[in-house]
C-alpha cells in the first residue's frame, strides 16, 4: 500500500511539473542573454500550453538601422516553415478528390522531367514534398537563391532534368526546395488559384492568421517588420531583405508570434478552427505527420529519441518517453526561425529571429521544452554558445588561410594568363558565368543572377577564389579550371571555401563548360 501511495504521489507531482508554466522572468533573462551570446539584434518568442498563450514577447530590436523595438507582433519571414502550409493545401485538394499523393507529377505537369527517365515517370506528388528525389542537398537552389535572379517557376520545372542524382531514388533524405516549388505549381493547376491566393484564402483566413501573408511582396503594412541581419567579415550588419517570389511555396510566408501560435493551436486541435470548421479530414491530417523519409538517430541523442525523419512538410521525431514532436526550421539570408509542437503535451514553441544563427533558436526552444519534459537544467546557452564560438573561429581560420595564400601567390609566374581563362562558361541549368579581366584584375559575374558578382582572385596555378561583392552571403568559392593540352581553360567547377556557407549556394552542382 505504501508503494502504491508513493507511486500515486510521484505521478501527481510529475503531472504538476509537466503542466507548470515556464518562469516568465527566467525566460526573459534567457532570451536577452541569447541575444548577446549569438549577436542577434531581435528575437520574438511564443509559448502555447493547454490551449493558452503563456508567453508572447519580443526582445531586442527589429532593425539595427532604426533600433525600433521588436515585439510579439513584429512580422518575420518564417521561411521553410511555409512547407507545412504547402502540404496542408495539397491534402485539402486530396479531400476534394482533385489529387492523390500517389499521382505521378506528370499527370498534373506533363512537361516535368528529371535526369532519369524511369524516375520521371514514377515520381509522385508525395515524392515532391518528402526530400527523397535522389538529388543532392539544395540541388538547384541557385535558381532562386539569392534574390534578384530571373528564373521563373517554369524555368525550374524545365531545368531540374539537368540536376544529376547523388543517390538512388527514395533511398535517403536530401533537403530540396525546388521540389516544393513544383508542388506549389501542382496546387495552382489543380485548384485554379495561385499558391499565394490559396494559402491566404483557404488556410490563413479561416484559421484566423489575420496578420500573416503568403509572401513578402503581399505585406502592405511594413511598419512593424524586421530587417535582415547577418555576420559578415567579423561583425553583424543589416542587409537587404532577400527572397525570391518564385520560391514562395518553399518558404515565402511572413507571420508573427501570435499568428504562428494560432496556427499551432489549430493543428493541435486536429485541424479544426476556433469556429468549429474542419479544414482537413482526420485521415489526411493524420497522414501529414507520418514518417515518410527516415533519418538516423545518433547514439546518445539528447532527447532519447527512437526515430526521426520527414513527414509531409514536417520533421517528426519522438522525445523523452515517446512524446511525438512535429517541427520545422526556416532560414533566409538574414533570418532564421523555428516552430515546434508536441501534441501529446499540448505544447507549442515559436522562435522568430532577425539574424541567421540557428544556435539562438535552439537555445530557447530546448530550454523551454526541457521544462515540460522534466529534464534538469542542461544550460543550452552555454552548450550552444561554446559550439557557436568554436564554429566561427574554425570558419574564420579557414578563410584567413585561403586569403593568406591568395596574397602570397598573386605575383607567381605559374599563374595562367588572362587569355587562358577569360570568357563565358555555361551550365545547363544555371546558364552563363562570365569571367573578365580589365588589366587590373579578374571579375566573375553570373548572368542570370546578377547579384552574384565579384572578384576572381588567383589561389594556385589551376584554382581561383570567387570573392562575392556582397559580403553578407559568406559564400566565397574555389573556382577550379580544367585546361586543354595548350593550356587554355575548357571547363570549370566550384566548391565552397568554408562550411558556414548556406547549402542553397549550391555552386558545387554546376558543371561549367567554356563556350566563348
Rounded to the nearest 5 degrees, what angle is found at the Cα of 346, between the Cα atoms of 344 and 348? 115
Report pLDDT digits (tens) over 169-209.
Answer: 999 999 999 999 999 999 999 999 999 999 999 999 999 99
pLDDT reading at 238 higher than 50: yes
Which residues are within 8 A (CB) of 190 and not within 5 positions of it... i.e. 6 or more apart?
A: 93, 98, 99, 108
Give the DSSP H/E element, type plus range, for residue 288: helix 282-288
Q: Residue 240: what pLDDT?
A: 87
pLDDT class of 21 with cuts at 50, 70, 90: low
Q: Quickly list DSSP for 40-89.
A: -SEEEEEEEETTEEEEEEEEEBS-TTT-PBP-TT-BEE-GGGGHHHHHHH
Cβ contacts of 105 within 8 Å, gap of 6 or more: 112, 123, 124, 125, 127, 128, 182, 186
Phi then psi for 141, rounded to 5 degrees?
-65, -25
Q: Mean pLDDT, the chain, as a whole number?
A: 94
Q: Beta strand 308-310 with 489-496: parallel, antiparallel or unpaired?
A: unpaired
Beta bridge partners of 48: 53, 348
Q: Does the pLDDT at position 125 exceed 50? A: yes
> What φ, ψ does residue 408 adopt, rounded to 5°?
-75, -30
- pLDDT mean over 298-309: 94
CB atoms within 10 A of CB 52: 11
* pLDDT of 270 above 50: yes
pLDDT above 60 for 8: no
* pLDDT confidence band for 19 (50 / 70 / 90): very low
pLDDT of 241 = 85
Quick one: CA torsion of 404, 410, 415, 416, rounded to 10 degrees? 120
pLDDT, tens digit, 9 for 90 and up, residues 418-457: 999 999 999 999 999 999 999 999 999 999 999 999 999 9
Q: Tens digit of pLDDT for each residue in 37-88?
A: 999 999 999 999 999 999 999 999 999 999 999 999 999 999 999 999 999 9
> Tell me: the pLDDT tens digits for 363-385?
999 999 999 999 999 999 999 99
Pick from 219, 289, 296: nearest CA to 252: 219
pLDDT in the model for residue 11:
38
All domains of the chain in start order, with CATH:
23-392 (3.40.710.10), 410-514 (2.40.128.50)
The Cβ of residue 377 has, within 10 Å, a number of other Cβ atoms equal to: 9
Amino acid at each position: 500500500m505504501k508503494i502504491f501511495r508513493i507511486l500515486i504521489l510521484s505521478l501527481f507531482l510529475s503531472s504538476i511539473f509537466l503542466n507548470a508554466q515556464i518562469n516568465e522572468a527566467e525566460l526573459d533573462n534567457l532570451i536577452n542573454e541569447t541575444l548577446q551570446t549569438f549577436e542577434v539584434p531581435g528575437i520574438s518568442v511564443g509559448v502555447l500550453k493547454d490551449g493558452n498563450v503563456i508567453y508572447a514577447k519580443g526582445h531586442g530590436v527589429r532593425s539595427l538601422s532604426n533600433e525600433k523595438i521588436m515585439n510579439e507582433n513584429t512580422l518575420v519571414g518564417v521561411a521553410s516553415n511555409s512547407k507545412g502550409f504547402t502540404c496542408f493545401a495539397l491534402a485539402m485538394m486530396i479531400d476534394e478528390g482533385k489529387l492523390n499523393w500517389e499521382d505521378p507529377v506528370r499527370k498534373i505537369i506533363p512537361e516535368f522531367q528529371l535526369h532519369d527517365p524511369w524516375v520521371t515517370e514514377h515520381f509522385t506528388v508525395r515524392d515532391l514534398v518528402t526530400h527523397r528525389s535522389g538529388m543532392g542537398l539544395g540541388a538547384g537552389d541557385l535558381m532562386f537563391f539569392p534574390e534578384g535572379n530571373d528564373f521563373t517557376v517554369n524555368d525550374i520545372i524545365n531545368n531540374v532534368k539537368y540536376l544529376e542524382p547523388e543517390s538512388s531514388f527514395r533511398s535517403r533524405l536530401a533537403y530540396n526546395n525546388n521540389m516544393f516549388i513544383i508542388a506549389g505549381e501542382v496546387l495552382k493547376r489543380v485548384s485554379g488559384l495561385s499558391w499565394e491566393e490559396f494559402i491566404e484564402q483557404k488556410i490563413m483566413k479561416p484559421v484566423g492568421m489575420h496578420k500573416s501573408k503568403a509572401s513578402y511582396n503581399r505585406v502592405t503594412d511594413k511598419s512593424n517588420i524586421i530587417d535582415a541581419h547577418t555576420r559578415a567579415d567579423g561583425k553583424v550588419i543589416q542587409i537587404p531583405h532577400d527572397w525570391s517570389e518564385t520560391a514562395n511555396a518553399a518558404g515565402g510566408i511572413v507571420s508573427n508570434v501570435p499568428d504562428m501560435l494560432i496556427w499551432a493551436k489549430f493543428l493541435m486541435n486536429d485541424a479544426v478552427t476556433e469556429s468549429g470548421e474542419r479544414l482537413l479530414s482526420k485521415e489526411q491530417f493524420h497522414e501529414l505527420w507520418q514518417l515518410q523519409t527516415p533519418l538516423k538517430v545518433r547514439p546518445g541523442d539528447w532527447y532519447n529519441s527512437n526515430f526521426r525523419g520527414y513527414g509531409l512538410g514536417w520533421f517528426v521525431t519522438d522525445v523523452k518517453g515517446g512524446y511525438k514532436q512535429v517541427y520545422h526550421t526556416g532560414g533566409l539570408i538574414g533570418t532564421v526561425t523555428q516552430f515546434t509542437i508536441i501534441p501529446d503535451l499540448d505544447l507549442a514553441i515559436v522562435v522568430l529571429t532577425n539574424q541567421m544563427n540557428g544556435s539562438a533558436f535552439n537555445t530557447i526552444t530546448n530550454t523551454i521544452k526541457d521544462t515540460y519534459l522534466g529534464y534538469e537544467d542542461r544550460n543550452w546557452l552555454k552548450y550552444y554558445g561554446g559550439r557557436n564560438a568554436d564554429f566561427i573561429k574554425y570558419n574564420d581560420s579557414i578563410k584567413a588561410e585561403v586569403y593568406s595564400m591568395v596574397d602570397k601567390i598573386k605575383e607567381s609566374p605559374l599563374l595562367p594568363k588572362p587569355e587562358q581563362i577569360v570568357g563565358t562558361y555555361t551550365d545547363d541549368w544555371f546558364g552563363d558565368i562570365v569571367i573578365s579581366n580589365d588589366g587590373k584584375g579578374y571579375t566573375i559575374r553570373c548572368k542570370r543572377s546578377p547579384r552574384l558578382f565579384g572578384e576572381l582572385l588567383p589561389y594556385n596555378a589551376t584554382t581561383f577564389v570567387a570573392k562575392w561583392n556582397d559580403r553578407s552571403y559568406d559564400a566565397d568559392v574555389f573556382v577550379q579550371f580544367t585546361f586543354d593540352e595548350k593550356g587554355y581553360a575548357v571547363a570549370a567547377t566550384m566548391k565552397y571555401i568554408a562550411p558556414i556557407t548556406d547549402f542553397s549556394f549550391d555552386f558545387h552542382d554546376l558543371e561549367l563548360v567554356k563556350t566563348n
